Structure 1
Amino acid sequence: MRRESLALDTAFDLCRNRRRRALLTLLADRDRQVTVQDLAKDLAVRERDGPITEVPGEIVTEIHTMLYHVHLPKLSAAKVVDYDHERGHVALTSRGTELEATLRAIGELEPPT
């Protein structure tokens, strides 16, 4: 049985957003199920380039809200993540792993800024 691959337009749409790209990388680096709250904190730390103690709580809340209502449902609909919104758990699927690996490869081609 052949696994269904992600349509190119869908992949481009999913990767168009900087926060979704970072989210895929974080999930791949963790390689396990994580909570939305932990992802929000990790993204805040990454975006602010500092420890969580220096990130205002409202930033983490804003990121959590966007993950919960926008980014995770979109990634879940494309079967890139398994997202249990009631329990607040997220895990990368094999399709998500492939997409994230492609993103890393593209990033290696990009000259440093």
Structure 2
Amino acid sequence: MKKGILLICFVFASLSMVAQDRFETAAKETVAKMNEVVSLSDIQQKQLYDLELSNNKKRAEVRKENEGNQSVIQEKMKEINVESYAATREILGAAKMKEWAEYRKQERSKK
């Protein structure tokens, strides 16, 4: 019985670590792309990494808590995106934020 409980705990811990790793990888990739486009300082990279990691976790939580309720998910995602945009703009400043927005607009138009 104890082995079964330990096995279940191990599986959940492993899944949690995989999800955490996925969030960290996504945050690193986003910051790397931003650095490539707008040349970030080390401080900006750290701040944006922390922001992206936090937002990735929030988004996953929203999806999990509201599974099957698309309208609630969209509403909460919009709130997260608005907060994220404001925080990103504060970190980058207006000029770099404009460059980043232009880059993203171009990338979306390619799809």
Q: TM-score range by the shorter chain?
A: 0.3 to 0.5
The two structures have a TM-score, normalised by structure 1, of 0.35
Give the number of the structure whose residues are more often helix, by fraction: 2
Larger radius of gyration: 2
Structure with greater strand percent: 1
**TM-score of the superposed pair, with normalisation by structure 2:** 0.36
